[in-house]
Amino acid sequence: QVHLVESGGGLVQPGGSLRLSCAASGFSFSRNAMSWHRQAPGKERELVAGIGSITGSTVYGDSVKGRFTISRDNAKNTVYLQMNSLKPEDTAVYYCNALRSAELRYDYWGQGTQVTVSS
């Protein structure tokens, strides 16, 4: 079965950095698009970043452009989110997502990892 496990979250001061990891298994990772979403209390889940399976093309939410970078290591079945210049409004639970595809009949989500940006 599809399994996604996020790690790397924690408490960081404004202006600091964190690197999130998502370890994937149970599907053909290298052939599947991946993304990160986040959800803050009382707010809807929003796209943070996405990365394609073949070209490696990326997309970013407007609020994180220029600060966050998504990448993947197909040899390790892992997708990363490098988060720089963090702001308090980045505080949220961050979820790894394997997008629906020819192989996956619907999106799959990890359990999430908490990121808190505070002084």
Q: What is the pLDDT of residue 81?
A: 98
pLDDT in tens, 93-112: 999 999 999 999 999 999 99
pLDDT in tens, 9-53: 999 999 999 999 999 999 999 999 999 999 999 999 999 999 999
Give bridge partners of residue 20 from the DSSP assignment. 81
Q: What is the pLDDT of residue 55?
A: 83
Those residues whose C-beta lies under 8 Å from the C-beta of residue 42, and which sit 6 or more positions away, are none
Asked if 22 and 5 touch (Cβ cutoff 8 Å), the reply is: yes
Q: What is the pLDDT of residue 10?
A: 98
> Regarding beta strands 34-39 and 92-98, do their DSSP bridges make them parallel or antiparallel, or are they unpaired?
antiparallel
Q: Which of 78, 37, 90 is nearest to 59 (CA)?
A: 37
Helix or strand or coil: residue 84? coil
pLDDT in tens, 51-81: 999 888 999 999 999 999 999 999 999 999 9
Q: How far is 110 from 6, CA to CA, in rounded Å?
A: 7
